[in-house]
Amino acid sequence: LQTRLQAGQGYGNTLNCVLTVYRNESVAGFFKGMSFPLASIAVYSSVVFGVFSNTQRLLSQLRHGDPARAPVLADVALASIVAGFISAGIGTPVDLVKIRLQMQTQPYIAADIKLKPTVPGFPVYRGPIHCFRTVLQKEGIAGIYRGMGAMLLRDVPGYCLYFIPYTFFCSWTSSDERISPSPTSIWLAGGVAGAISWVTATPMDVVKSRLQADGVYLNKYKGTLDCILQSYQNEGLKVFFRGITVNAVRGFPTSSAMFLGYELSLKAMKRDQTETNP
């Protein structure tokens, strides 16, 4: 829904998008492009969270000589920025494949331009591997990383507004800093942080989605700035808030589960390490 609203044509609002996708493509339409992100989400999330936590530990070691010491706000912000850069580097090809698969059946609407899929009546890409290989052959590495500039502008501030609110809410709900927050506190803090992050990241998420979906038939946009200017000139400021409801609604449960799994996994590993090395 998010991609269709942001980069598609003819969807008035979220409900209309849901009904249109179901009417035209049945339930299967809601799961297009899912396999590639599903196969890579574990690696992607573990790398991003691992980079964030290890950067924090390194900064605490350099600043205080104790990697286990609670990080200050500046350390959390710097670790979030590093995580944002890593996220864009890993996530851009994954998002590109997902968006191309989701958007390849959408009609291309532009003045005096009529384009058809490579094989009339059939999608351009047969699946995620075929999509990745086709883009790589036709557009090279630059094509695989199309939209990375917009993703950096989304993820670097986005992760700052992801990890910083999470850290703040966890410390706020814990009266004693020496005691780890409860699972309920982690779940709530993660959900709030996720909603805040995705809502504020929506404008650049729109730009990224448009840049990556654009290449299915024709490269309409020359780059991030050109996409911003064309989108604003054609549809006004409101275009940058397309899909904001979907982002906010999905941001809470997704991030709640992510942070809860992350914290519980860390506790379990620390417990095993303590039992192994008493």
Q: What integer pLDDT is reported at residue 5 of this predicted model?
A: 64
CA dist., res. 35 & res. 109, Å (int):
28
The answer to the question of residue 20 being in a domain is: no
Q: What integer pLDDT is reported at residue 58 of this predicted model?
A: 92
The answer to the question of residue 17 being in a domain is: no
Tokens of 95: 């998002």
The answer to the question of residue 104 being in a domain is: yes
The answer to the question of residue 233 being in a domain is: yes
Range list of H helices, 174-243: 183-214, 224-235
Q: What integer pLDDT is reported at residue 196 of this predicted model?
A: 94
How confident is residue 156, by pLDDT bands cut at 50, 70 and 90? very high
Q: What integer pLDDT is reported at residue 31 of this predicted model?
A: 64
The answer to the question of residue 179 being in a domain is: yes
Are the beta carbons of 262 and 170 closer than 8 angstroms? no
Of 164 and 278, more confident:
164
pTM for this entry: 0.80
The answer to the question of residue 12 being in a domain is: no
| Statement: residue 122 has pLDDT above 60 | no
Three-state SS at 52: helix
The answer to the question of residue 28 being in a domain is: no
**Side-chain half-sphere exposure of 79, counting CA atoms within 13 A:** 24
Arithmetic mean of pLDDT, 14-26:
69
| Statement: residue 107 has pLDDT above 60 | no
Report CA-CA distances (Å) from 273 to 58, 112, 225, 269.
20, 66, 49, 6
Q: What integer pLDDT is reported at residue 190 of this predicted model?
A: 93
How confident is residue 274, by pLDDT bands cut at 50, 70 and 90? low
Domain count, the chain: 1
The answer to the question of residue 8 being in a domain is: no
Q: Which of 243, 273, 270 is nearest to 102 (CA)?
A: 243
- Structural domain span for residue 52: 33-276
Domain harbouring 159, CATH code: 1.50.40.10
Q: What integer pLDDT is reported at residue 245 of this predicted model?
A: 87
Are the beta carbons of 126 and 180 closer than 8 angstroms? no
Residues 15-28 as b or e (16 or more Cβ within 10 Å = b): eebbebbeeeeeee
How confident is residue 77, by pLDDT bands cut at 50, 70 and 90? very high
pLDDT in tens, 245-265: 888 888 899 999 999 988 888
Helices and strands per DSSP (H, E), number in the chain? 9, 0
pLDDT in tens, 187-231: 999 999 999 999 999 999 999 988 988 866 667 888 899 999 999
